[in-house]
Amino acid sequence: MKTYTDLITIDNFNDRLEYLMVLDNNALSPRHMSMNFYKSNSWLTIRDLVIERDMGFDLGMFGVYIDGNVYVHHINPIEESDIVYGTKRLLDMDNLITVSHKTHNIIHYGHPKEEDKWVERTPGDTILW
């Protein structure tokens, strides 16, 4: 089991990111039932505490600001049974970390393939082959 306690001992952002990567290997998010949980008072309270603890920084790394929405990520993905039985994993601050949307997607899906990366337009790039 990965923990916030272990995560914060890692000094490098990219190493923290590697530590958290799940790439959705057998991580079946119970989306059909999790939305009610994510609207609950208990979740909203713990979410605020996690963001405050991490000072709103991405992966809790001081100085790594989040532009846009702030997410609170379960370090060890939750499962349907966690919601059904209200397990400790849902609200355990040692299982939660503040992340940006981009970081959250990288944790779950990895870095985009080189050919899928967005390329900025430049003068003359409309010239045909």
Residues 78-122: pLDDT tens digits? 999 999 999 999 999 999 999 999 999 889 888 755 554 455 667
Burial (CB count within 10 angstroms: exposed 0-12, middle 13-18, buried 19+), residue 115: exposed
Domain boundaries, the chain: 4-111
Torsion on CA atoms 89, 93, 94, 97, rounded to nearest 10: 100
Residue that is written with structure tokens 């919601």 in the block: 83
Q: Reply yes or no on whether the pLDDT at 11 is more than 90.
A: yes
Q: What is the pTM of this model?
A: 0.81
Share the mean pLDDT of the chain.
87
